[in-house]
Structure 1
């Protein structure tokens, strides 16, 4: 619970400070239980009110925040759908033009810069799945694997990882160790060490409860970049088998299918990339990515937009590549498997390279198939049941937990108006940045 935010909202609404303080002290006792006395809870609540009052009215470029009036939840940020993709486009706008080979404007798995020696340096960061806070080892395993996937997807070999973990004030210290154990399980299996990191409390004293969050970053090097922007018409699309990761684990946990979590504990994606690199096939491949952000639907949109091509997929070839236990669970709960993260490897390459790629993957026991092709045009289509239909992502990724079912996937009626406000907020942030840069030069 964010007790500072709770206090500020109440103060701004004009509530009586004494009543706010009393209610806040009660909330603190509810969450901290035996770890706080009634007297200390009241003292904490009073201190929170004092600090909240001191920062209610802020003025000046540095302190006054940019606001849009649109919340993260309303706009679907983090939900890997249209709202999330739109937000990332605005993030790239705020960052501005860079000298990187691949930057945020490419909506790719990682960023890439060219070193003085001519090698490409690849950098990425992945956040812990927000619903795996109570499962530190699982969260660590999947976020580390995700970071390495993003490096491999750019055609690079990862060299090292870093981690950042934040645990709320009432969280058990052992969460840190359990989480690090999950990360370093991947590190030891792949030979990519975890070499540095940061450990903090979420919000310091102002966030109570046991919530955990954080991220894992990774760095790699390569001579050849397999960026999404390199996809070309007449290429074929190959996908490897996938059983999902953090998203599928979350579905399994919150629908009571706990045994399915074990299906996600593997490093087949990494094995597939190593097989391709080891066989010297990387130079024949135009682009690679992992099937994560909004599933195949989401990746199709991002690749189409970035490369300026149309992607056509065949559903009957995708379905057999999804782990059967995972697919059965998704269908049981009416979750669109094409709109969730499957953690499969997507390869875009010339048609004459497909046979070699499939042969190498097959020799390592990794199932894969050609699931579509790249054409002239834009957008994405899906061939299913004898029909060709639009394959655009929804406003949010497939609703894969009971809570997400309630939130829904439908685009809000006022989405365009919200986009306009997001645009304006991004513009204000850019202006703010430019003023501060000008002042400091």
Structure 2
């Protein structure tokens, strides 16, 4: 529970100091096993800090709210709203000296250094795996390495971050780290550094956990989504899902399916292609994660300026049968959920070599589509071509997501106008602070002699 957020909201809604103090004390006692006097002391301190920071006027300290919430716009839900915000983040950053940066909407970023490419990525742990820290660490570490491999790079290091709320069990730190370390040892990529903090310090009570894993890789060439081109074919490896499928299995009471996700086939597939000298001939690669095939295909189409066409029957055959049965039973669109399969876009002339290398190592794969001139994404199913459109949110894969739904609740265009303004405000502040600091005189150096 966010004590600070609760208090700010209560005061904004006109609640009196005394009512807020009383209610906040009760909320604290619902979670913490402490005396009422101790809970009241904490509530008083929270109120004091909130009131001290409620009427600030310096625009470099405060921010102008957009009135659009994260959930309302689907941020983090890997759909149309989430993708739009990612584009806006790139606008705030602006132009950079990187070879691949946020504006490319790729899996990782890259810079040149000493004749090589340094490839970097960071992935957040699945938000619904807070109570399952080993799974959270395992799947986020695997995701980070995937994002390095699909750029044509070899991973050389992992780094981690974990935040746990004030009442969280310290054992979560070790379980989360063990999950990361398992991937680290399996792939011989060292976990070299990290950070451990509480969420919100003393202001967030409860046991919620969040975190991320970053990865660094080195390459002498890069594979980028923007290089997919007409005439290429699209190949896909088998997929059993990761954090998303684990969350589905757990929260729908089908925990036995979780074990299907515990593998490194995707990572091994990338290693095999590299070892066989095929990676350099591939035009684009990605992992089927961000909103499933729907999301990743839309992103590639937009970035590459090309049309992608998929064969539904061939994609379906590559989904782990146990996972697929679960998704079908729960009426979850498997095309809009993370499958953790490897998607390869390459010239038709090397498709056979790619399939041979993967199948030789017992990794199922097939040609599932093609790239043509044009734009958008289509799916060939039941003898007809259908538009494979990106939904506002990814497939609803947990009970609460079923309630929230996959479509926007209000007019998206109205929300975009406000988000555009928030983007401009942030970019202006960045520019203002840069100008302010560059205009400062250098501090006078002390005369030591």
Q: Normalising TM by the smaller chain, what interval? A: over 0.9
Deviation sequence 1:62-121 (CA, Å, 0-9, x none): 211132110000000000000000000000111101111111111110001111x21111
* Residue 87 of structure 1 pairs with residue 81 of structure 2: no
Distance (Å, rounded) in 1 between the aligned partners of 2:69 and 2:136:
26
Answer whether contact 1:241 1:322 (CA < 8 A) is retained. yes
Q: Corresponding residue for 1:306?
A: 303
Report the CA distance between 1:411 and its aligned residue: 3.0
2:132 is aligned with 1:169: no
State the superposition RMSD in angstroms: 0.7
For 1:6-405, list aligned pairs within 5 A: 6-32=6-32, 34=33, 36-115=34-113, 117-405=114-402
Correspondence for 2:4: 4
CA offsets per residue over residues 163-218 of structure 1, 9 Å max, x none? 01000000011110111001000001000011000000000000000000010000
SS where residue 126 of structure 1 aligns?
Answer: strand
Secondary structure at the counterpart of residue 75 of structure 1 = coil
Say if 1:292 and 1:341, in contact at 8 Å, map to a contact too. Answer: yes
CA contact (8 A) 1:224 1:282 kept: no
C-alpha distance in structure 2 between counterparts of 1:308 and 1:57, whole Å: 48
Checking the alignment, whether the CA contact within 8 Å between 1:66 and 1:429 is kept in structure 2 is: no
Q: Which stretch shows the higher mean deviation, 273-282 or 63-72?
A: 63-72
Question: C-alpha separation between the residues in 1 aligned to 2:79 and 2:340?
Answer: 17
Question: Post-superposition shift, 1:224?
Answer: 1.5
Question: By how many angstroms is 1:20 displaced?
Answer: 0.7
Cα separation, 1, equivalents of 2:234 and 2:428 = 41
Secondary structure, counterpart of 2:343 in structure 1: strand
Q: How far apart, in 2, do the equivalents of 1:16 and 1:351 lie? A: 69
Which residue does the alignment assign to 2:444?
none
Distance 2:386 2:435 in 1: 50
CA contact (8 A) 1:315 1:382 kept: yes
Deviation at 1:14, TM superposition (A): 1.5
Moved more, 5-14 or 335-344: 5-14
How far 1:40 moved relative to its partner? 0.1
Q: CA deviation at 1:413?
A: 3.8
> C-alpha distance in 2, partners of 1:421/1:412?
16
**Deviation >4 Å, runs of 4+:** none
- Distance in 2, matches of 1:291 and 1:301, equals 12
- Paired residues of 2:327 and 2:334 also in contact (CA < 8 A): yes
CA distance in 2 between counterparts of 1:321 and 1:204 reads 45
TM-score by length of 2: 0.97
2:233–2:367 CA contact under 8 A, matched in 1:
yes
Q: Counterparts of 1:211 and 1:178 in 2: how far apart (Å)?
A: 14
CA offset at residue 4 of structure 1?
0.5
- Report Cα offsets for 1:235-263 as digits up to 9, x if no partner: 00000000000000000000000000000
Cα deviation 1:125-167 (Å, max 9, x = unaligned): 0001000000000000000000000000101110000001000
Give the aligned partner of residue 409 of structure 2: 412
Post-superposition CA distance 1:383-433 (Å, at most 9, x none): 111111111110000000010000001133410010111011101111111
Structure 1 length as normaliser, TM-score? 0.99
Unmatched runs of 5 consecutive residues or more in structure 2 = 439-449
Mapped to 1, the partners of 2:306 and 2:112 lie a distance apart of 26
